Amino acid sequence: METNLNNQISEEWTVSEDAIGQRIDQYLSHKFPEQSRATIQQWIKQGYVKIDGNDTKSKFLLKGFEKIHVELVLQDRTEHLPQEMPLDICYEDEHLLILNKPVGLVVHPGSGNPDNTLLNGLLAYSSEQKKLVRAGIVHRLDKDTSGLMVVAKDGETQQRLIDLLKEHDIKREYVAIVRGQLSHTGHVDQPIGRHPTQRVRMAVHHKGKPAITHYQPLRVFKHFSLMKLNLETGRTHQIRVHMHHLGHPLVGDPLYGNPNRIAADVVSELKDLVRAFPRQALHARQLEFIHPITQQPISIKIGLPEDMEQLLEDIEYYDDLDTFDDQMDVEYVE
C-alpha cells in the first residue's frame, strides 16, 4: 500500500483465486486491517473503490482475477482538539497502551465536558490517535473512578480489543469501599437499564441488559467493607448499581448511596471523614488479557490511589472490629 505524508492511499492489484466468493467489503477489511468494516463500506459507497474501473457495492461477490483500485485521502477520525496533559502510562508497545486514569478526568467529551478529557490528552500524546474512532479508547471509567484503562494505537488492535471485551476475555478487577459488613464471596446477576424516572441514574431493571458482577471481601470492618470486584459485563455504573442493589452502596457515591446516611453508632470523627470523601470509593486496579496482536499474556496491577488509602487507614483506625475472624476468606489489601 502506498501512503504519502498526506495520508493518501493509492493502490491497485489483481484479486487472487483464493478470494473467490468473498464480499468486497470483507475482502478489503483484511487488506486494510487498520480500518473498520463500516469505514470500508463508506469507501465503496463514495466511489473510492473501483473494480475493473467501475464503481461497486459492498455486497459484491468476487469472482477472482478482478483488478481493484483504491484511491482516497484518509480523514482524521475525530474533530476534537489535542490538549497536552500528563498521562500515567503503566505499559506501552507499538499496538496499545495501558494508563492509570486519575480521579476527576472525564474519558470522552460530552455534554458539560467539551474538552480537557482523556481523549484530548491522547490526541496530544500521539497524532496517530486522530486516525482512530474515539482516539483508540475501547472502554470507559466514570469521571470519579480511578484506575487502569487500555487504549489501542491502531485500528486492528482497537477492533480486536473490542472483540475481547465483548467475549469477556479481558479480566477487569476493581477495589471498592462499601457501607456495611459484607463478609462473604458472591455475585450479582441482575440486568441493568436506565432508571425509569431519574434519567441520570441506572437501575436493576427487568428490561435492562444482562450484567454480572463478582465480589469478594478483602477487609471487613464494623461498618464498612473493602471489596474486590470483577466484571463479566461492562454496563454503565455496573458496580455502583449492583452494590446498591445488595444494600452495600459505595462510600462517597452521590447517585446510588446518600453519603450522609451513616450508621448512628459510627464514631463522629469517622462520620465526618466518610462524609467528606468527595467521590465514589472505586478503583480499577488490574487488567489481564492476552495481547490481541502478539498473543502474549498482559497483566498490569496498581495500588490504591492516595485518597482511598487514607480513607482505608481512617476506617481501620476508628472502625476495626474488636474480634476478627481469622478463618474468614479475607485478606488485607496489597
CATH (domain of 156): 3.30.2350.10
CB atoms within 10 A of CB 39: 18
Same domain, 127 and 176: no
235 lies in some domain: yes
Catalytic status, residue 142: yes
Q: Is the pLDDT of residue 140 over 50?
A: yes
Residue 89 CB coordination number (10 Å): 12
Q: Tell me how far apart the alpha carbons of residues 154 and 33 are, in angstroms, rounded to a whole number.
A: 9
Residue 54's CATH number = 3.10.290.10
Q: Quick check: 213 and 146 in contact, CB under 8 A?
A: no
Do 87 and 157 have their domain in common?
Answer: yes
Retrieve residue 206's grid coordinates.
427487568
**80 & 46 share domain:** no
Q: Are residues 187 and 230 in the same domain?
A: yes
Range of the domain at 38: 8-73
Q: Rounded distance, CA 231 to CA 295, Å? A: 22
The proportion of the chain whose per-residue pLDDT surpasses 90, expressed as a percent, equals 66
Residue of 25, 142, 154, 253 with catalytic role: 142
Domain check: are 51 and 102 in the same one?
A: no
Q: Provide the residue type at 134 as one letter.
A: R
Does 173 lie in the same domain as 162?
A: no
Whole-model pTM: value is 0.75
Q: What tens digit of pLDDT does each residue of 10-59 get?
A: 889 999 988 999 999 989 988 887 677 777 888 899 899 999 999 999 99
* Mode of pairing for the β-strands spanning 212-220 and 224-231: antiparallel
For residue 1, is it within any domain? no
Q: Which of 99, 118, 95 is nearest to 34 (CA)?
A: 95
Q: Based on the fold, state whether residues 208 and 102 are members of the same structural domain.
A: no
CA nearest to 208, candidates 242, 185, 165, 180: 242
Residues 117 and 186 in one domain: no
Determine, yes or no, domain membership for 2.
no
Query: Is there a contact between 239 and 280 (Cβ–Cβ < 8 Å)?
Result: no
Query: Which among 73, 104, 127 is the end of a domain?
Result: 73
Which of 51, 73, 95 is a domain's end point? 73
In a domain, 27, yes or no: yes
Instruction: Report the distance separating Cα 122 and Cα 128, nearest Å.
Output: 9
Q: In the chain, which ranges are continuous DSSP H helix?
A: 24-31, 37-45, 118-125, 155-166, 238-246, 268-276, 306-319
Which of 115-119, 127-131, 219-223 comes out lowest in average pLDDT?
A: 127-131
Torsion angle defined by CA atoms of residues 123, 282, 230 and 220, in that order, rounded to the nearest 10 degrees: 160
Residues 231 and 318 grouped into a single domain: yes
Q: Are residues 67 and 85 in the same domain?
A: no
Q: How many domains is the chain partitioned into structurally? A: 3
The answer to whether residues 137 and 130 touch, using CB atoms and an 8 Å cutoff, is no
Quick one: cell of 44?
A: 465503496
When computed from its CA atoms, the radius of gyration of the chain, rounded to whole angstroms, is 24
What percentage of the chain's residues is helix, strand, coil (to nearest 5)? 25, 30, 50
Q: What mean pLDDT do residues 317-322 have?
A: 77
User: How many whole angstroms separate alpha carbon 158 and alpha carbon 150?
Assistant: 10
Cross-strand partners of 98: 91, 150
∠ CA(186), CA(325), CA(302), 5° rounding?
60
Query: Do 310 and 189 fall within a single domain?
Result: yes
What does the pLDDT look like over 257-300, one tens digit per residue? 887 788 889 999 999 999 999 999 999 999 999 999 999 999 99
The CA distance from 27 to 266, in Å, is 64
| Whether residues 39 and 114 fall in one domain | no
Domain membership of residue 292 (yes or no) is: yes
The distance of Cα 180 from the centroid of its chain, to the nearest Å, equals 28
Q: Which of 140, 166, 192 is the last residue of a domain?
A: 166
Retrieve residue 306's grid coordinates. Answer: 492516595
